[in-house]
Structure 1
């Protein structure tokens, strides 16, 4: 079951999306609705949100800028009456971009894409990775870091083996943020158990040097303070 939120300020558009979603009752569940970015932010902080239907033209803060502001981005399908933002939407790794009025046929194709892209899922201390045409079970303790490479994810393991999977780093972030993994860069999410040294610009995972992105510095520093609070600092 995929938990969805609808971020939309037009009541008729909300009703149409709800009707489309209801046809996927075994796969999709609406866990909240928001009329603006602030309400949507509250939902994301308080609900387990897997998929966001996000309008672009909203009061105060548009959907593009709202999604840019989020570090932990749920899968997002943009809904809008305007074609102008399509390129920017896909640069933000949106799953799809639906033009209003949204027909069920077009909605169906978007949801099919969502379901097809869910190739990674958490299962206790393992994830299932679709790579080389097979699903491979990998222990989280084997993974040093994930690296985004265009439409693929590179997974580096402790034996220096690299796996390549068709997925997005935002999907991994929502799955593994409670498992000791933290995103420190637009392209990197690391296993904090393998951190051997760090400063505000760089993290060492043994011999691997990973940059800390500017927009991730505060979150990373807060994370390190939290996990280091019981350690002795000299």
Structure 2
């Protein structure tokens, strides 16, 4: 599945709004005055709430911002790959490196795991 994002990152202030979805190919299209860039959904490591925006962290280390609630964003992603771990964070389970009292992703800082999300999050893994 592909996910469309605006080319840019948090530091240069590019903001995007979801304008539509291409149901034939499973693409989400985010539009802005900058050219759009198609990114595989699996390149998303996690999404974090920042005031009225969501900061999306990608595998290549880039960060992108969109104006949308975290719940709306989560509903547009593949449910088997993305899970909420905290009221402020959604992670891609394929990019989890370590789990303890926090979750460490392949990029970025460790993220907290909320008490109410912990059991559901851990149920996506086999513990050996």
TM-score under structure 1 length normalisation: 0.41
Structure 2 CA distance for partners of 1:185 and 1:149, relative to 1, 3 Å: same
1:62 maps to which residue?
none
Could you list the runs of 5+ residues in structure 2 that have no partner in the other structure? 1-16
Q: Secondary structure at the match of 1:223?
A: coil
Structure 2 CA distance for partners of 1:139 and 1:177, relative to 1, 3 Å: closer
TM-score under structure 2 length normalisation: 0.70
Task: State the alpha-carbon separation in 2 of the partners of residues 188 and 198 from structure 1.
Answer: 15
Question: Does 1 or 2 have the higher relative contact order (CA < 8 Å, sep 6+)?
Answer: 2
Select the structure of larger CA radius of gyration. 1
2:104 maps to which residue?
204
* Deviation of 1:133 (Å): 5.4
Deviates more, 1:145-154 or 1:120-129: 120-129
Counterpart check, 1:215 vs 2:116 = yes
* Deviation of 1:136 (Å): 3.6
1:178 to 65, 73, 79: 79
Structure 2 CA distance for partners of 1:140 and 1:207, relative to 1, 3 Å: closer
Counterpart check, 1:168 vs 2:69 = yes
* Deviation of 1:214 (Å): 1.7
Q: Which 4+ runs in 1 deviate beyond 6 A?
A: none
Q: Size of the alignment, in residue pairs? A: 110
1:159 maps to which residue?
60
Could you list the runs of 5+ residues in structure 1 that have no partner in the other structure? 1-116
More helix by share: 1
